Amino acid sequence: MENKDLTVVESDSFIRKYLLKVSDLTVFFFRFFRKLFIPPYEFKEFAKQSYRIGNKSLLLVSITAFIMGLVLTIQSRPALVSFGAQSWLPSMVAVSIVREIGPVITALICAGKVGSSIGAELASMKITEQIDSMEVSGINPFKYIVVTRVLAATLMVPLLVVFADAVALFGSYFGVNLKDTVSFQFFFIEVFQKLDFSDVFPAFIKTFFFGFAIGLISCYTGYNAENGTEGVGKAANSAVVFGSLMVFVVDMVAVQLTNLFT
C-alpha cells in the first residue's frame, strides 16, 4: 500500500514539475515578444550572434548535407533502376531534400550545435552572476542576451537550410555520376522542372519556426539554470533534447497545415 502511495506522489510531483516548466516557458515566450518591440535595439549584438551561429554551424552543415545528398542518391538508385525509372532520380532526390530531409536534418544539427552553445553560455553567465551585474549597471539583460540570440537563430537557421539544400543537391549530382554520366546542366534542369512553389515555400517558411524554437528553448534553459556548475551541463543537455523535440513537433504541425491548404 505504501509503495502505491509513493508511486502516486512521484507521479503527481512529475506532472506538477512538467506543468510548471510549461507555464514558465509560456511566460518566457510572451516576455520575449514584449521586449522585442521596446527600444533600445541591440543591432550590434544581434549581428554578432548571427555571425557566431552561422559560422559555427557552417562546416558541420556542409559536410552533413553533402553526405546526405550523396547517400540518398546511392540508396535510391537501385529501386528506381529496377523499374527502369533512373531518369527520375534527380527530381525525386531534390523533392525529398527540399521538402523534408534538408530542413529537418539542418535544424537538428543547429539544435545540437547552437542549442548546446547558447544553453551553456547563458547558464555560465547565470551562475557567475554576470546577468545580475548587467541589471545593476543599467543594461536590460533579457533584451541584450535573450532577444538578440533568439532573433539570430530565427534568421540564420533558414539561411543554413538553403545552403544545406544546395550542397545536398551537389552531393546528389556527384552520386548520380558515380554510376552514370550526367552533365551538371542537365541534372539541375531535371531538379528545377519538378520542384514547385508548393514544395519550396512551405519548407522555407517552417525553417523560421525551427530557428525560433531552437533559440527560445536554448535561451530559456540557460537563463533559468540552477545548482551551480552542474546547472551548466543540465542547461546544455536540456537545450539539445527539447530543441530537437520541438523541431519534430513544429515539422509535424507544418506538414499537417501544408496538406490542409494544398
* DSSP code string of 66-131: HHHHHHHHHHHHHHHHHTT-GGGHHHHHHHHIIIIIHHHHHHHHHHHHHHHHHHHHHHHHHHTTHH
Distance CA 175, CA 192 (A): 18
- In a 10 Å sphere around its CB, with 0-12 CB exposed, 13-18 middle and 19+ buried, how is residue 154 labelled? buried
Position of cell 529501386?
A: 79
User: Half-sphere exposure of residue 143, counting CA atoms within 13 Å on the CB side?
Assistant: 15
Model pLDDT for residues 110-130, shown as the tens digit of each residue? 999 999 999 999 988 888 888
In the predicted model, is pLDDT for residue 228 greater than 80? no
Q: Given pLDDT bands bounded at 50, 70 and 90, which one contains residue 2?
A: very low
Distance CA 102, CA 65 (A): 7
**Model pLDDT, residue 12:** 57
Q: Between 81 and 96, whose confidence is greater?
A: 96
In the predicted model, is pLDDT for residue 8 greater than 50? no
Joined grid coordinates for residue 6: 509513493
Distance CA 57, CA 120 (A): 16
Model pLDDT for residues 12-58, shown as the tens digit of each residue? 566 777 777 778 888 888 889 988 888 888 899 999 999 999 988 89
What is the residue extent of each domain of the chain?
Answer: 39-261
Q: What mean pLDDT comes out for the span 71-83?
A: 84
**Model pLDDT, residue 38:** 84
Model pLDDT for residues 125-184, shown as the tens digit of each residue? 888 888 878 877 777 888 889 999 999 999 999 999 999 999 999 999 998 888 777 888
**Model pLDDT, residue 167:** 95
